[in-house]
Amino acid sequence: MGKVIQTLNAPENSREKMAYWVGNRPKFASVSESGILHGYNAPAMEVDWFDEFIQRYVREGDKKVYHFYSVFGSKLYCKRHRFPHSFFFSSETVHTGKLLFEYDDYCLDYVDLSMTYDYVDAPNYLRFPQWIIWLFKPVLDKDYISGRIKEFNEARSTG
């Protein structure tokens, strides 16, 4: 996979911290090596995986830049800075616990596509459990991945 370039680290001084707390900057920001994916509050491994997937299956030669939000920082940046071609992904439980409760709406009103492992009935939502990232390389055929997931979901215990 490619290399993710960290463009913004966690706030260190009082000016950066204030900008973070009012939503003027994300906690972390990165850009994929290809330059087509910008990640905000997102782990480098996830930015890298989605960058490869977008290059292979979504991009189709266009010049779009995609914006990826995740839960490892304040939601205020997502709310205050809306970009075209944006999506939200969380590998964490957002509807329980205090730490990520601010994301319990899955950012559906702020992004073009929201993806988590929950079952949500919304036109811009896709169920996308994190284990897909761990089990499948983003260069595999999407029909193959879909077929394997169907097999997993239909598997019966033999014990």
Beta strand pairing status for 86-89 and 113-116? parallel
Order the strands of the 66-69 sheet from edge to edge: 4-8, 29-32, 37-40, 66-69, 86-89, 113-116, 125-127
Residue 96 has pLDDT above 80, yes or no: no
The pTM score is 0.83
- Look up residue 122 and give its two tokens: 């919304």
Over residues 55-68, the pLDDT tens digits come to 887 766 677 899 99
Residue-level pLDDT at 157: 60
DSSP tag of 58: I
| Percent of the chain whose pLDDT exceeds 90 | 25
Over residues 119-128, the pLDDT tens digits come to 889 999 998 8
Over residues 13-60, the pLDDT tens digits come to 999 999 888 889 899 899 988 888 999 999 888 999 988 888 887 766
Residue 114 has pLDDT above 80, yes or no: yes
Contact 34, 59 (CB under 8 A): no
Residue-level pLDDT at 97: 63
Residue-level pLDDT at 61: 64
Residue 4 has pLDDT above 70, yes or no: yes
Residue-level pLDDT at 159: 56
